[in-house]
Amino acid sequence: MRYHWTQKDIFNACNKVQRLIDHETDPEKIAFYAQVIDSVNDYMFVTYADAHSRNTTYQEKVIEATECHLGYARYVQYMGAFLDELHPLYDDIVFLDETRLDLKSKRPDKFKFKRYTHEETLSLVKGFYADFDKELYDIFMKIYDERYKSVKFVKHYTDPDDPTFQESSGYCFYLGGINRAFISVDEQRGIAKVSDTVHEFGHAIRYSIHPSSAYSKENYYMSEIESVFPELVYLYEQGSKIDSFQSSLAMFDPIVHYYEKASLIRMQQMVINAWYDNRYRLDKNVYDRLREEAKMSRSDVYRALNTSIKVAGPYIISMGIVLELFNLYKRDKDKAMYLYKKIVKTPSLSDEFLKLLVLENELPLFEHLREETMQINANLANEFNMRF
């Protein structure tokens, strides 16, 4: 058996949802099915065109970024808090990242990890969810049973001009109504293939419980909690036993990545301000001012404008929340699992829901973010000392 699905399978699945509409009289259900079909259209046509519209000028990009900052004010606020918390660790994070690159170029052999077959990967993922939680495992198994037609492993980070190009290391696409998941994971060496698959199944589990959560655009910033938490627990509990070096690297990766993205969003804000003061013109005055006041080069300005709050926000903010959960998990596993399941089982993760968790002190927001990040940094530094 091979792990495989194509766009045609999604198209066929979509037709099945269309047939449900044809035989349905309940207007609420019809509206939901229509939303499912819309999301497929978005995925197949709009997203691709969106992500690859290279003809957009920087003047247009700054206007778009301004709209995003207004529409996603809460994201900006949380991402700012994330950045401020991690700021004292900036030098450590950069140093570790450079050390990693340096070691990798000197000793590439130490970074050439074992290749896991698809079968091995899925069996490790299954083993993880069996230990993770009994109740979620039952839901996991329903998706797992369809794995040959619902999961595929393909190269993701490839040519941006290739129409099948995906910028992420995986994605999960879900069709409510017929309850079909389509999971794609980057084909890569090492246990990251396993942890990425654990991540995508985290999405699939929540979508199975609440199909509408796959399409909700509201409070999208909490949408990665369901996936990043099991991924982190996998690396901590099982990945580290297979290979502590790889698991330390995989835990450190998002820290560097999200710190950089959050910094770019902050720079984006500065570009918007300078542009605004310059009467909405992105010209030499703006670049000069940013260079003087914020030490930003032109390429920094371009990188900042090419970053999207909408895309980066959910990962950064969810990661901050997940590290709180993870901190709790190490102290009180039952309570952390109880909270995680509460999140996964809540149909709509509203601001009020999060506020309540924070207020009841069940999940203090970003309180242990720095501590957990320091631990992740220390683990990696320790691995470097041991191995090189």
Residues that bind Zn ion (CB under 5 A): 224, 227
Q: Please give the structure tokens belonging to residue 375.
A: 């631990």
DSSP state of 236: I
Q: What is the DSSP string of 180-213?
A: EEEEEEE--SSTHHHHHHHHHHHHHHHHHH-GGG
Least Å from the CB of residue 253 to Zn ion: 14
Compute the distance between CA of residue 344 and CA of residue 226 in angstroms, rounded to an integer: 6
- Taking the C-alpha atoms of residue 373 and residue 343, their distance in angstroms, rounded to an integer, is 23
For residue 128, what are the CA distances in angstroms to 184, 245, 253?
19, 19, 21
Nearest residue to Zn ion by CB is 227
Nearer to Zn ion, 20 or 191 (CB): 191
Strands 180-186 and 151-154: parallel
* Residue 206 CB, nearest approach to Zn ion (Å): 10
Closer to Zn ion by CB, 224 or 383: give it.
224
CB of 198 to Zn ion, least distance (A): 11
Report the residue number, 227 or 268, with the smaller CB distance to Zn ion.
227
Kindly state the smallest distance separating residue 38's Cβ from Zn ion, in Å.
Answer: 20
Dmax (CA) for the chain in angstroms is 66
* Min separation Cβ 183 and Zn ion, Å: 11
Contacts with 283 (C-beta within 8 Å, 6 or more apart), sequence order: none
Closest approach, Cβ 345 to Zn ion, in A, equals: 18
- The answer to whether residues 239 and 77 touch, using CB atoms and an 8 Å cutoff, is no
CA 357 to CA 365: how far, in whole Å? 9
36/172 with CB nearer Zn ion = 172
Nearer to Zn ion, 85 or 224 (CB): 224
Q: Rank residues 170 and 190 by Cβ distance to Zn ion and give the closer one.
A: 170
State in angstroms the smallest separation of the CB of 85 from Zn ion.
Answer: 22
Q: Which is nearer to Zn ion, 227 or 307 (CB)?
A: 227
User: Where does residue 191 fall: left (phi above 0), alpha (psi -120 to 50 degrees), or beta otherwise?
Assistant: alpha
Q: Contact, 250 vs 195, CB < 8 A?
A: yes
